[in-house]
Each structure stands twice: as structure tokens, then as C-alpha cells.
Amino acid sequence: MKKILLLLLLISSEAYAQTTALDSLWTNPEVEKRIQEGIEANRKGEFTLSFPDAKGTVQIEVTQIKHAFLFGSNIFMLKGFKTAAQNERYETVFKELFNLACVPFYWKTLEPQQGKLRYEAGSPEIYRRPPPDVVLDFCKKNGITPKGHTLVWDNTAHAVPEWLPKDTSKIQPLIDLRIRQLADRYGSTVKTWDVVNEVLKDHPAVPMPPEYPLKAFMTAQRNFPTDTRLFLNEVTTESWQNYHREYTPFNLLINDLKNRGARIDGLGLQFHFFSEPLHHNVVAGKAMKPDELFKALDLYGKHNLPIHVSEITIPALPHTSEGLENQAKLTRNFYRLWFSHPAVESIIWWNVADGTAVAGEDKWRGGFLDENLQPKPAYHALNTLINQEWKTNFNATVSTKSHSFKGFYGDYVVKVTRQGKTTEHTFSIKKDSPKQLAISLN
């Protein structure tokens, strides 16, 4: 009995030490100062509502209805649950939190048989792979920005079609054809694409053509409309951990592709914790520390390209209240840091719900909903940030013919009441747009 009590005491002491070390990193005054000042400087703008013909006081109610910043997730489970109630629940939560959806364009499942493409509603069902037309219809109806993922990826499990020839010389024309087909069909509706995925994580079993990443960019920029944004997406280790200042491999890859003519319009940095040692070290405050994340973002920010934290899996391990709270705490800490950095344009969670990951990854319990689509503490962390702390909503009485304020970038509705009459007006706060709206009350 004494041995059991001693073991429990040791486990409890280790957990307390980990929590203390992690908290001390994120409550460091210098870290908190940079985060707070970054959010204030990079995510908010001054705006003035004026009432030139007002006589007396005016009541205003200002409500932010949409973010300019892109908060997103993959949308791989759209229409993919067994019941209508589950599908409705998934869609409701998605719309509540996100204004960006990562749309699956994986070659292996979009064209499972050569020449037979699963674009349209009614296409043969494949788990976690809704037809693009279905997803884009949902996005259009709900004001959600679609992001295409991915044009080229040399992963046999998820991306390389089984029918692809083994002869390297025959593969490049097929890649070029695929890119042209997607550009023709979706070039006007999907304006952001991951062109190549995980270049630095080589899959030697796949005889990819020489220079396939460069050729993919060149083909994409020839065939997609000029206003399409072409992204380079990379794995977690190479994005954040294999840091060697300007000689960081991902940084060298970016420079190499750009120097040889690739038009890279944005960078995707994955953030999956698919390793128990990594997750343990993060919780213990030994990995993915604030200074390390800032160093990586500062380095890639020098390219003056928008950065997407593109695929986020923060495990809820162990599967206890402690693991759930750690997931929520890490979520809040990481999101605040990313949101504060001027180069970051979008933060993209990966799997919305537990039990919906690709085979082999459900063990990480990286959803912010549980298997029953009920909110975990991580959901509340996200919702608090996205829909409360990072939205500007207020009421005011105006007696000076104008009211100035600083609000988060995005779209707004203002209700103006004078002498019992209420009118409604819309406006946006953007970095490069007018900073004032004059409202006539006559």
C-alpha cells in the first residue's frame, strides 16, 4: 500500500512540476508583453462613426459579425456522419467558429480510378473525402473561404493514386494534367491552394519526377488565374523545430524555389504532435516554447509572405480531466501567440472531432469536440478567443456627432437609435480601407 501511495505521490509531483514549468513559460512578462502588444498592433484598427446631422444624443450598438483574420479547420467530415443530426451538429459548430475551410483535393481519393473524378455531389462515398462541389456549396452559402489541399504530395497512403505509373518519366505529364484540370474547374472559386505538401519529408518508395515541387509551382502559376495564391506547406518538425537561423532547411527550400522561378504566395506550417515524447515535452515546457515559435515565425516572416499555421493537432493525453485541460491550455497559449504575429494570416485546426482522424491518428484525441460531438475544454478555449475576446462589441451613447474606437479587423453592423427610430448600417475595419463611416440620420 505504501508503495502505491508513493507512486501516486511521485506521479502527482511530476504533473505539478510540468504544469509549473509550462505556466512559467507563458506567463513570462516579456512573452506576455510581446503577445499583447502584437495583438493590439496587428489585429486592430482605429475607426470613427460620425453623425454629421445629429441633434442631441444618439445610441449605438456595434456588433462584429465576421473576422478578417482566417480561423479555420479541415472540413473533411462534411456530410460524413451516420445521422442527419450529427451532420447538422458538425456544420453548426463549424460555422460558429470558422471562416475558412480546408477542402480535400487529395489525388488518391479525388481520382481513385484514372479519368473518373469525384468532383460532384453523388460521387462514390469515401470516408473523410466529401466531393469538392459539395464543400464549395457549403462554403458559398455560409461565407466561408475555401482553401484547396493539396495539388501534389508524394505520400502513397493518402495522396498518390494506386494507378499512377511506376515509370518516373510518365508521372510528370499526369501531374501537369491534374493541375490543369483543377485550375479549369476551380480556378475561379478556390483562390488559395497548397501546391506541394511535405517536400522535406521524402517518401523514397514513390518515384516522383526530378524537381517535381518546382514543376508543380510552374504549372500552377501558368494555369490558375493570376489572383490565385499558391502556398508551400511543410511538416511540423521542419517548420518549427529544425531551426538553424537562415540555414533552416525549410527556409533554404523557400529560397531555392523562389530563385528558380516559383511564385510562392504563402507558407503553411503544420503543427501536429504525432509523437508521445514530443507531446510530453511540450506539456513539460521543454518543446514548442514561446521563444522557439517566435524565432521560426520571425525567420519565415522575412519573406513577406502570409503564413498559415496550417494543420493543428494538439492531443488530449492522457484521456483524463488533466489531459483535457492541458489541451485547452496549450490551445489558448499557442493561438494567442500565433494571432499576435504580423506574418500570420490564418490558423487552421485539423480534425474537429475525436474519432474522425485518418487511420492511426485517432489515438491522439486531437479534436475539440469528443466522439459524440460535444464540446471539450479546448472548444471553450477556441470559442472564448474567436467569438469573445477577439471580437469588438459595445453599446455607447454619442453626444458629440462622432464616436471613435479601436476594433478587431473584420465586418460590423451598427444599430443607430435616435428619438425612438433605429436604423442599421454595415461597415468594415481593414488595414487598407477608409477609417470612417458617416451616417445620415435624416
Sign of torsion over alpha carbons 132, 136, 139, 143: positive
Where do the domains of the chain lie, and which CATH numbers do they carry?
A: 44-63+392-438 (2.60.40.10), 70-384 (3.20.20.80)
Q: What pLDDT, on a 0 to 100 scale, did the predictor assign at position 3?
A: 59
Cell of 149: 489541399
pLDDT 10s digits, 75-87: 999 999 999 999 9
310, burial (CB in 10 Å: exposed 0-12, middle 13-18, buried 19+): buried
At residue 360, does pLDDT exceed 80?
yes
Instruction: Give 20's pLDDT tier (boundaries 50, 70, 90).
Output: confident
Instruction: Give 1's pLDDT tier (boundaries 50, 70, 90).
Output: low
pLDDT 10s digits, 333-352: 999 999 999 999 999 999 99
d(CA 304, CA 342): 10
Whether the Cβ atoms of residue 147 and residue 99 lie closer than 8 Å to each other: no
Nearest to 110 by CA among 138, 140, 141, 152: 152
Prediction pTM value? 0.95
Rounded percentage of the chain residues whose pLDDT exceeds 70: 96
pLDDT 10s digits, 103-153: 999 999 999 999 999 999 999 999 999 999 999 999 999 999 999 999 999
Instruction: Give 16's pLDDT tier (boundaries 50, 70, 90).
Output: low
Q: What pLDDT, on a 0 to 100 scale, did the predictor assign at position 377?
A: 99
Give the mean pLDDT of 392-413.
98
Instruction: Give 66's pLDDT tier (boundaries 50, 70, 90).
Output: very high
Return the residue matching grid coordinates 486531437: 366
pLDDT 10s digits, 276-329: 999 999 999 999 999 999 999 999 999 999 999 999 999 999 999 999 999 999
Give the mean pLDDT of 258-278.
98
Least confident of 9-13, 146-150, 332-336, 372-376: 9-13
At residue 8, does pLDDT exceed 70?
no
At residue 435, does pLDDT exceed 90?
yes
Q: What pLDDT, on a 0 to 100 scale, did the predictor assign at position 17?
A: 55
Q: What pLDDT, on a 0 to 100 scale, did the predictor assign at position 50?
A: 98
The 58-67 sheet, strands edge to edge: 394-398, 58-67, 410-418, 421-429
Give the mean pLDDT of 183-211.
94
Q: What pLDDT, on a 0 to 100 scale, did the predictor assign at position 203?
A: 83
Q: What pLDDT, on a 0 to 100 scale, did the predictor assign at position 14?
A: 54
DSSP 136-197: HHHHHHHT-EEEEEEEE---TTTTS-TTS-S-HHHHHHHHHHHHHHHHHHHTTT--EEEEEE
Nearest 10 degrees: Cα torsion 345, 335, 354, 288: 110
The DSSP element (H or E) to which 102 belongs, if any, is strand 100-104
Compute the mean pLDDT over every residue in the chain, rounded to the nearest whole number. Answer: 96
At residue 4, does pLDDT exceed 70?
no
Q: What pLDDT, on a 0 to 100 scale, did the predictor assign at position 204?
A: 80
